[in-house]
Amino acid sequence: MADWSDFRPADLLRVLVARGVDFVVVGGLAAVLHGSSRITQDLDVTYSTEPANLEALGQALLELDAKLYGIAEEVAFVPDARTLAQTEILTLSTRLGKLDLLRSPSGAPSYAELRNRAQLVKTDDAAIRIAGTDDLIAMKRTAGRMKDLADIEELEAIADVRRAARSTSGG
């Protein structure tokens, strides 16, 4: 079971992309990818609930040796499409770090809308979708935790800087 020192978000993302999973990064890592100084210890994603995507996600979880996080005793966990279709939130430990799967994050629009408004971030290996700042702010406002409130302030500042840069460049 991986701990924070094993957290390798780029490798986690690489496995999801390689398996063809349709997902959007949300949460702390999405804020970081927008330019936040936040430190995060897990990868939060939301995903398409189409059957083929649930199968791909299940295969990725098997490759990642995913186990239920925070459960003292060994509990059987089968990451197949049927299981994934019936869960709203899964907090998992993988060989590459902690992974939270959120079927419908609170404060988020439908998956299709969130995906359409997501920002595409290109890496050497692939393109990753991250929730847009407005959607992240809405999700964090709904969560309302202290760390989320701090994130909102920073994300709003980042959005303001981007808007100002666009208006001065004419774009």
pLDDT digits (tens, 9 = 90+) for 52-79: 999 999 999 999 999 999 887 777 888 9
**105 backbone dihedrals φ, ψ, rounded to 5°:** -55, 140
Give 24-46 pLDDT, tens digit per residue: 999 999 999 998 888 889 999 99
The pLDDT, as a whole number, for residue 160 is 83
Residue 77 lies in a domain: yes
Residue 19 lies in a domain: yes
* Distance of alpha carbon 12 from the chain centroid: 11
Residue 137 lies in a domain: no
Q: pTM higher than 0.85 for the full model?
A: yes
Residue 118 DSSP code: P
Residue 142 lies in a domain: no
* Distance of alpha carbon 37 from the chain centroid: 17
Residue 123 lies in a domain: yes
The pLDDT, as a whole number, for residue 2 is 47
Contact (CB, 8 A) for 56 and 19? yes
Give the total number of structural domains in the chain: 1
Contact (CB, 8 A) for 152 and 137? yes
**152 backbone dihedrals φ, ψ, rounded to 5°:** -60, -45
